[in-house]
Amino acid sequence: MDVGIFLAALGISLLELSEAGAVTAIYQATYKGLRPIAYSIIGVALVLIPTFTVGKYIVLLPLRYVLAVSAAILFYFGYRLLRSSRRYFKGIRRHGEEEKEGVGVVLAVSATEALEAALVIIALIPKSYSSALLGTLIAAGAVVLLTIALKDQIARIRLPHLKFVLSSLLFSLGTMWGVEIFTDVDELFLLAFFAAWLGINYAIVKM
């Protein structure tokens, strides 16, 4: 086993999947049932299974097309989150629609976080497939255990505020990936995009 590859896969998977686990725990506490959990698993699986089965071929896809499709998906779910958050702050309730949007967002966030991890894992696979796979699997298991152990604390986060912040994050990632279609951009710009979208979304919510 290559320890360096194992630790790299473990670290990036823990970092990214823990965010998906936190979002899943918050939605599960709000809507009850197993749908948020199922959608989270599906979102992660849709990315990580192809990563470890055909990962070496994914790099052959034109990157700008992958970025364009991904950015469009992020903007779509960012818009739905912002719309839902704005309805809450305006005192408008649509419970059935809220739940559908909720589980859809869990799927999108889980897939997005898994994709962030997969971009690193794909680079690790050629050096040691087994080490990358083992690190990812252990990280996934650890995230599940941590989410279960801390779900009560995580569930205290207010869902409308989470939607507002997640919306800004998805818009920020979508903007950065959209810019990367045309030119290279440092990941530090994500912080600037995030700050800008927080301001824009705040203004929209207050309208």
- Burial of 191 from C-beta contacts in 10 A (0-12 / 13-18 / 19+): exposed
pLDDT at 117: 83
Long-range contacts of residues 147-152, Cβ cutoff 8 Å, at least 24 apart: 147/18, 147/21, 147/22, 147/24, 147/25, 150/25, 151/25, 151/28, 151/29
Check residues 143 and 28 and name the one with the higher pLDDT. Answer: 143
Helices (H), the chain: 3-31, 35-58, 63-89, 95-124, 129-154, 159-180, 189-206
Question: Of the given ranges (73-77, 129-133, 191-195), which has the lowest mean pLDDT?
Answer: 73-77
- State both tokens at 120: 């690193």
pLDDT at 77: 76
Coil, helix or strand for 60?
A: coil
Q: Domain-by-domain residue ranges, the chain? A: 3-206
For the cut 90, the answer to whether the pLDDT of residue 196 exceeds it is: yes
Which pLDDT tens digit goes with each residue over 78-127? 887 788 777 777 665 555 555 555 667 788 888 888 887 887 788 678 77
Spatial neighbors of 202 by CB under 8 A, at least 6 apart, are 164
